[in-house]
Structure 1
Amino acid sequence: MSAQQRRGEPPPLPEPLSPLIDAHTHLDACGARDADDVRVLLDRAGAAGVQAVVTIADDLDAARWAADAATWDPRVYAAVALHPTRADALTDDARAELERLAAGPRVVAVGETGMDLYWPGRLDGCAEPSAQRESFAWHIDLAKRTGKPLMIHNRDADAEVLDVLRAEGAPETVIFHCFSSGPEMARTCVDAGWVLSLSGTVSFKNARDLREAATLIPPGQLLVETDAPFLTPHPYRGAPNEPYCLPYTVRALADVVDRPAELLAEQSSDTARRVYGL
């Protein structure tokens, strides 16, 4: 671990790489509270070549905030949902509010929803798998009714996620955010026409299965994301992440798939614009 990481300092601004679109970030968790904060974050991202971001909700308060933030700056779009670990909060009132928020013109996806089998039993208050399945099915239906992409959180739950998608019928556009599975799951998703979004984890040297999976994703099904403030790419793993750090991930991915980083930036941005309707 570097001295910089030990101090918890943010990574330096990378050499710009443009055009880039951060397909999944959490601006509120990066410390943004108001329009001024959002502008500062996006200006910093813009200096690194990141032209737009999709800020993601994981609970109802975050969903309200994300939908508002997308109206504060033209570089910001939003996705709304309840994170699978918070599925117990999907009351009738929450459903009604998420439906209202998802209809907003700057809300471009329903997410993040899905299945997480890592946290039950480890995290107090985490929804059990049965509640997660019910919530996931409801969000699938919401994505279909709104005609917006479904953004999936999948942690240690490949079989369960696929089972729910098959049972409910997948929406027209499905995005696996922070794809972290191996080549077998990648092939299944690619064959289904789904979109896979890669984060800083692809830069981790111990992520061998993921790095192999990355080579299987066609350009038109590939997005890139920070998932900031989490999953800061190597060599700054453990430091605070922000959208401006996205070029580090894209350059690491370029090494994995043996394609120019500039080409990956252009292709992934084209895919983001098409998938999200930007």
Structure 2
Amino acid sequence: MSKEDKRTPPPAPEPLPAPAVDAHTHLDACGAREAEQVRAMVDRAEAAGVGRVVTVADDLDSARWTVEAAGWDERVHAAVALHPTRAKDFGEHERATLRELAHAPGAVAVGETGLDYYWDFSPPEPQQEAFRWHIALAKEVGKPLMIHDRDAHEDIVRILDEEGPPETVVFHCFSGDAEFARRCVDAGYVLSFAGTATFRNANARGLREAAAMVPAEQMLVETDAPFLTPHPFRGKPNEPYCVNYTVRDLAELRGEDVAELAVATTRTAERVFGLDPAGVR
């Protein structure tokens, strides 16, 4: 793919036959910084049938921004946390700020938090300490915990067991195989699938097997935009409207009707994040 091709976003798809929710995106990282830009980006998503988005923070500035953005547009909801790769900088100021933001009306989740053993920006110990703190915060505010899990399945599950999980746990951009998915489903956790679940390479085989077997009532769809653009547009810029492609691909994988999967995952999102079924907070 040429540099020019990589800069060209995927085409606007035919609208979904039923509305979907992008359960995890980063509108600020996609380039939407002002209210007008946010509205334009969500308008593009809604035109594709993706009527609501959860925009997720990875540091304090982003956390403040997501809560502010949730006030600009009723289709936008916020999740706040410090990303595990930034956990070495997790002090009292960060904790106090995140606690205040997590109580904000526009914040619907504590995330993304968890463990990332792929990158070496933060050692495991501060990551695990921060993860435990975020678990406690999710319980305190009564909002779902949104987990980032990269090469850390066993420690994630162990710490959840040790601390006692909050009522709702979401594995964002689920990256396990069918066996790990079954363990998470049996524990009552919700699994959110991004564009990686549509990839066709050998490494995605186990993930696609997981996506095929998760009950719809424990399943979400997401973009993680601007990253992880779904097949067949891998490597191009990602935006919330591209959830459309993921829903269609997963419906085919699961042998389900596209509308039925969109409705089912939207119901899951409404339950998990406390969204009004009419789409108005």
TM-score, with normalisation over the residues of structure 1? 0.96
The 5 A counterparts of 1:31-50 are 31-50=31-50
> How far is 1:106 from its partner?
1.1
Q: Deviations over 1:49-108 (max 9, x none)?
A: 111000000001100000100000000000000000001121101100000000011100
Corresponding position of 2:117: 117
2:11 equivalent to 1:16: no
Tell me what 2:175 maps to: 180
What CA distance in whole angstroms lies between the structure 2 residues aligned with 1:225 and 1:171?
Answer: 21
- 1:148-202 superposed Cα distances (whole Å, 9 cap, x missing partner): 0000000011011011111111111000000011011101100011100000011
Match of 2:223 in 1: 226
- Write the letter of the residue equivalent to 1:10: P
Distance between the aligned counterparts of 1:215 and 1:43, measured in 2? Answer: 30
**2:262 matched to 1:265?**
yes
Residue by residue over 1:219-266, the C-alpha shift from the partner in whole angstroms, topping out at 9 and shown as x without a partner, is 110000010000000111000000011110111111211111111100
Q: Which runs of 4+ in 1 moved over 6 A?
A: none
CA deviation map 1:90-140 (0-9, x unaligned): 1101100000000011100000000111001xxxxx111111000000000
Q: Is the 8 A contact 2:146 2:170 kept in 1?
A: yes
Corresponding letter in the other structure for 1:90:
F
Pairs within 5 Å for 1:184-223: 184-206=179-201, 207-223=204-220
1:77-226 to 2 correspondence within 5 Å? 77-120=77-120, 126-206=121-201, 207-226=204-223
Query: Structure 1 residue 7: deviation in Å?
Result: 4.3
User: How far apart, CA to CA, are the structure 2 residues paired with 1:25 and 1:175?
Assistant: 14
Q: Are the aligned partners of 2:251 and 2:257 in contact in 1 as well (CA < 8 Å)? A: yes
Would the aligned equivalents of 2:212 and 2:250 in 1 still touch at CA under 8 Å?
no
Amino acid in the other structure paired with 2:139: K
TM-score where L is the length of structure 2: 0.95
Corresponding residue SS for 2:236: coil
- Cα displacement (A) at 1:42: 0.7
**When the two structures are aligned, how many residues end up with a matched partner?**
272
Percent identity, please.
Answer: 61
| Matched residue SS, 2:266 | helix
Contact 2:6-2:235 within 8 A present in 1 as well = no
Answer whether contact 1:115 1:136 (CA < 8 A) is retained.
yes
Q: Secondary structure at the match of 2:220?
A: strand
Unaligned runs of 5+ in 1: 121-125
**Shift in Å, 1:5:** 6.9
For the Cα contact (< 8 Å) 1:229–1:242, is it kept in 2? yes
- Shift of residue 6 of structure 1? 3.1
Deviation of the 1:272 alpha carbon? 0.2
